Amino acid sequence: MNKTIKKVICLSLLTLTMTGCGNVPKLKDGTELIVEMDGLKMTTEEFYQKLKDTYGTYSLINSIDDLLLNNVYKTTDEMKEKIEKQITDQFDVLNGLKEQIIKLENKKTKQEQDIEELINKYNVIMVVSQPDKGKDRKGNIIYSPCKELALKNNIEVFQPIKIKEEYQKVLDTKPDIIVTAAYGQIIPSVILDYPKYGCINVHGSLLPKLRGGAPVHHAIINGDKVAGVTIMYMDKRMDAGDIISQRAIPLTIDMNLDIAYEKLAIIGRDLLIETIPSIINGTNNRIHQNENEVTFGYNITKEEEKINFDDTSMNVYNKIRGLSSVPGAYAIINNKRMKVYSSTISDIKSKNLPGVIEDIRNDGIYVNTKDYIIKLTDIKLEGKKRCLVKDFINGIKKEEYIGEVFE
């Protein structure tokens, strides 16, 4: 253990992402298993993701056990005869899926290994996280990945409603350094001034550009070609402290918010691990931000989530990918809110007023913009489940939408 630094507190440490389950399970004849759940037909890969989204990682195995025991796992009509002849194979597939999940649960990712090494090296004594908010369908409290990691490593978790009023518990731990990442609350000066090596923040932009709570959203919406991470000292002003280190990544035109977050989380983790030793031994950079170059990326408002089809197709496209998948861009059609998670720009020039639905095909809802038609491909209509447009059109009458105008 590092002898110089004794105690570290991490506030909302970078989250971990569990990977998918690899190859899609198939029957012995090579046919992919199709299942029916909640009236929807889906592949086993989609079913796995649905379980993961619905129940959370730790309930997956129990959920599959319930399906095996209660025999509520049904196939489509097209495969019924084949499955009935190979009922053993069906259960083999389910058990195989269960075994894959168990392996995933027990296998440490490179991220987990690196963070656990950081925890062991620097004696992380407390994780401060936002209060628990959500519950799953069974009523169990959903912990943040940050809290789960802390509990797994026997680190004390503190979840104050307002850190500016409940800071004494943090000071009582006598931290040498405090690291924050997307904590979401203003840290009071009494905490900022306490640690020997300061309070440092992992910020999702190349400061001084895009100070604020939603820098990655705004970078994509703005059409920026580059994004990045900054390790910085914290001060009383938002994201205005001295820069210690930075690392950039390209923002490609096909990259949405989820993909960018995943890449920046890894970059931020690696940069933090590389930077901390220089902070401790006093060799780190300390660069003042140029106030003339400051821009802001404030939290996205409800009004900013709405798609403006009066804009260019590129700007509409950038807004959709910059808000996908949370909070999600939306527009109103037939008095219902439609969230849009992905789109493509066509080479067809707009023929009608912006917002008018020109056509609906398997590859998307064709909508006029200021210049070119944009195709909405992944949507969620109010009261319905999220789906691709090719599935959406199976349950609607096209004539009820074609010619209508998005508000």
Sign of CA dihedral 261, 267, 268, 270: positive
pLDDT of residue 395: 86
Residue at 219 is within a domain: yes
Q: Which CATH number does the domain housing residue 292 bear?
A: 3.40.50.170
Residue at 138 is within a domain: no
Number of structural domains found in the chain? 3
Residue at 67 is within a domain: yes
pLDDT of residue 26: 46
What's the pTM? Answer: 0.75
Q: Examine the fold and report which residue of 76, 106, 136 is the final residue of a domain before the chain moves on.
A: 106
- ω into 144 cis (within 30 of 0): no
Residue at 2 is within a domain: no
**199-231, pLDDT tens digit by residue?**
999 999 999 999 999 999 999 999 999 999 999
107 DSSP 8-state letter = S
**Residues 371, 307 share a domain:** yes
Tokens at residue 335, please? Answer: 């008095």
Residue at 15 is within a domain: no
Q: Examine the fold and report which residue of 48, 79, 106 is the final residue of a domain before the chain moves on.
A: 106
Please, which residues have CB within 8 angstroms of residue 15's CB and are 6 or more apart in sequence? 144, 145, 146, 265
**Residues 49, 87 share a domain:** yes
Sites in the chain below the pLDDT cut of 70: 1-115
Q: Which of 106, 105, 110, 152 is nearest to 127 (CA)?
A: 152
**Residues 313, 365 share a domain:** yes
**Residues 254, 309 share a domain:** no
Q: Examine the fold and report which residue of 71, 106, 141 is the final residue of a domain before the chain moves on.
A: 106
Residue at 51 is within a domain: yes
Q: At what angle do helices 77-85 and 87-106 cross, to 10 degrees?
A: 90
Residue at 211 is within a domain: yes
CA distance 51 to 36: 13
CA distance 381 to 306: 14
Please, which residues have CB within 8 angstroms of residue 311's CB and are 6 or more apart in sequence? 319, 354, 369, 370
pLDDT of residue 325: 92
**Residues 287, 204 share a domain:** yes
- Supply φ then ψ for residue 173, to 5 degrees: -80, -10
Q: Which CATH number does the domain housing residue 396 bear?
A: 3.10.25.10
212 DSSP 8-state letter = S
**Residues 363, 282 share a domain:** no
> Domain containing 66: what range?
34-106
Residue at 327 is within a domain: yes
**Residues 313, 283 share a domain:** no
Q: Which of 98, 45, 41 is nearest to 67 (CA)?
A: 98
